[in-house]
Amino acid sequence: MPIDTGITTELDVQRDHELHEKEKSGTRTMVLNMGPQHPSTHGVLRLLLELDGETILKAAPDIGYLHTGIEKEFEDKTYQQGVTLTDRIDYLAPLSNNLVYCLAAEKLLQLEIPPLAQWTRVMLTELTRLNSHLVWLGTHAIDIGAMSVFLYCFREREEILRIFEMFSGQRMMTSYFRIGGLALPHPRGWNKRVKDFVDIFSSRVDEYENLLTNNRIWTGRTKGVGYISLEDMLDLGITGPMLRAAGLEIDARKDSPYSSYEKFDFEVPTRTENDVFARYQVRVQEMRESLKIIRQALEGMPSGTHQADAPGITLPDREKMKTQMESLIYHFKIVTEGFRVPEGEVYQAIESPRGEVGCYMVSDGTQKPYRVHWRGPSFGNLQATSRLIEGTLIADVIAAIGSMDFVLGDTDR
């Protein structure tokens, strides 16, 4: 007998449909294709639904429409060039991806990262979390019918993107974290920019909550919708806010701190209701906690250099390059040849806005990674789609899959 994996396939849908067709007196069902170009599937997720009236009997997720072979491309680029690919995997949380990739490579190289770079990484990764949660909240609200929240969320997101642009010169594909530290020193005036944002943002979160938390339409569409048992979630590979909304306090920032997260004071918000509304509450609370972390990083930012003392890996100082021949040669060699990374393999996991991002990196001692496997949180989360929506109404599909907060770039890589 085949094992019940909890994952419905397209074949299952077809078989079930034919079975119902054969029973003359039984239910007549309809097979409906949703996506890959459906606006509420946030990208190119395709769902095959078998419907009895408005009830979903079977739901089969189909992915792969955005597969771009990023893992293969890693093997063809030097370690430092690979950073730019990580931005493009999960394009709503580029800096989280930069971070996990750099941490994995730095573990192999056994590099010591200066405190200034570590704290900046924490600060910008938390801004990324805000950025990602804002996009999630805005689009999720628009799916359910609250148009105005979207406009407010994108107003604040714009400010975050401006901060990213200030630091790295890029709004979305930042590549600001490099192996060995940061790409550039802090820009002039960053302090005030981030402080201004931190000062207003708390009241902006209140604004979103005013619009939604007690809104009768919002609670009606989200409370009690999208339940999936904790056992199923752990077994099917779900991570992140969804687990925390089911009462499990799991967060890589606390469980295995990286990049000096252990020095920051913050809580891991949890809920026990385990529905779409609880996931919304967890994410809103996370925004407030991230704000706390950003404020601490802003106030206690250590002084020092932005790159590790690792000649041959980090680029030499620009001023020295203009006056010293050796520095110029080093610069040329690092840029053209890259650097060798000792043989070995590591798995580094961090907490991205969506859950656990894992970077499994295998080095064979050359300038290019031998193999990079990207454990994207969206891939694991999407596996549970069938369990999440089977047996519910079709109108709840939008709310339920929206609450998973997946990014298809991260799923298909």
- Give least dist CB 239 to another protein, A: 8
Q: How far is the CB of 117 from another protein (least distance, A)?
A: 20
Closest CA to 411 of 374, 382, 379: 379
Q: Tell me whether residue 75 or residue 337 sits nearer to another protein (CB atom).
A: 75
Q: Rounded to an integer, what distance in angstroms lies between the CA atom of residue 286 and that of residue 43? A: 24
CB of 253 to another protein, least distance (A): 12
Contact call for residues 390 and 52 (beta carbons, < 8 A)? no
The half-sphere exposure of 81 on its side-chain side, counting CA atoms within 13 A, is 16
CB count within 10 Å of CB 393 equals 15
**Shortest spacing between CB 277 and another protein, in angstroms:** 24
Exposed / middle / buried, residue 279 (Cβ in 10 Å: 0-12, 13-18, 19+): buried
Q: Compare residues 378 and 392 and give the one whose CB is closer to another protein.
A: 378
Indicate the residue among 185 and 237 with the shorter CB distance to another protein: 237
Minimum distance, C-beta of residue 260 to another protein, in the bound complex (Å): 17
Please check whether residue 279 is in contact with residue 242, taking contact to mean a CB–CB distance below 8 angstroms: yes
Rounded to a whole number of angstroms, the minimum distance from the CB of residue 62 to another protein is: 9
User: Whose Cβ is closer to another protein: residue 316's or residue 358's?
Assistant: 358
Pairing of strands 55-62, 46-52: antiparallel
Is 143 or 251 the residue whose CB approaches another protein more closely? 251
Cβ closest to another protein, residue 64 vs residue 220: 64
- Alpha-carbon distances of 123 from 93, 99, 127, 130, 164, rounded to whole Å: 13, 12, 6, 11, 11
CA-to-CA distance for 36 and 381, rounded, in angstroms?
A: 18
Q: Select 11 or 395, whichever has its Cβ closest to another protein.
A: 11
Q: Which is nearer to another protein, 227 or 370 (CB)?
A: 370
Shortest distance in whole angstroms from residue 296 CB to another protein:
24
Q: What are phi and psi of 43, to 5 degrees?
A: 125, -140
Neighbours of 212 (CB within 10 A): 22
Residue 318: CA count within 13 A, CB half-sphere: 3
Alpha helix ranges (H) inside 88-146: 94-109, 115-144
> What is the binding site for another protein (CB under 8 A)?
2-3, 5-7, 9, 11, 63-64, 67, 69, 71-73, 75-76, 107-108, 110, 234-237, 239, 248, 250, 255-256, 344-347, 349, 356, 358, 360, 362, 370-371, 373, 375, 379-380, 383, 412-413
Choose between 71 and 209: whose C-beta lies nearer to another protein.
71
Least distance to another protein from the beta carbon of 237, Å? 3
Closest CB 375 distance from another protein, rounded Å: 4
Task: Please tell me the distance from the alpha carbon of residue 105 to that of residue 346, in angstroms, as a whole number.
Answer: 8
Q: What is the DSSP string of 254-280?
A: HHS--TTGGGS-------SS-SHHHHH
